[in-house]
């Protein structure tokens, strides 16, 4: 299995790291697969799906927190502990979704209105979604 690119999700205001290992799902295949067939996420781990306006948890064996983020990096909504076989609503203004282990969004203080951004790890640039004209959130 190919490893997904990784970034750090930070608070856009303070620059403080929020999610230290954020895997990036930006191709049609990686977005469609999401967390299906993967082990549960641990503390400090997340999956950034971009572009994305809604998710489902069909076939998943563990609950997740789902964070919806707009083009400017502002959190629009947080769905906590979404159990298996659930669907979120579609957030038309959402640019990306961050999936976390259940309870992580509250633990690290993610809430509507907070601005976040992705930072590259090391000297690598963040990849741009292949099927989107918009640049990645930075």
pLDDT score, position 105: 98
Predicted TM-score (pTM) of this structure: 0.87
**What's the total number of domains in the chain?**
1
Question: Which residue range is the domain that position 42 belongs to?
Answer: 6-120
pLDDT score, position 130: 43
| Positions of E strands within the chain | 6-11, 17-25, 45-49, 64-70, 75-82, 94-101, 116-120
Q: For the chain of 138 residues, list the mean pLDDT of each consecutive stretch of 10.
A: 79 96 93 89 96 95 97 98 97 98 98 96 63 51
pLDDT score, position 28: 92
Q: Residues for the chain: how many in total?
A: 138
- Is residue 131 a part of any domain in this protein? no
Query: Cα separation of 71 and 18, whole Å?
Result: 18
- For residue 74, give the CATH number of its domain: 2.60.120.1140
């Amino acid at each position: 299995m190919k490893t997904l690119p990784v970034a750090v999700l930070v608070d856009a205001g303070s620059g403080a790291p929020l999610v230290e290992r954020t895997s990036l799902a930006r191709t049609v295949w990686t977005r469609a697969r999401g967390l299906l067939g993967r082990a549960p996420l641990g503390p400090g781990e997340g999956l950034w799906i971009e572009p994305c306006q809604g998710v489902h948890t069909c076939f998943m064996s563990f609950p997740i927190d789902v964070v919806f983020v707009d083009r400017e990096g502002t959190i629009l909504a947080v769905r906590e502990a979404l159990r298996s076989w659930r669907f979120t609503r579609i957030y038309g203004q959402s640019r990306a979704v961050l999936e976390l282990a259940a309870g992580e969004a509250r633990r690290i203080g993610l809430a509507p209105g907070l601005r976040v951004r992705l930072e590259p790890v090391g000297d690598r640039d963040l990849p741009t979604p292949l099927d989107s004209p918009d640049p990645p959130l930075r």
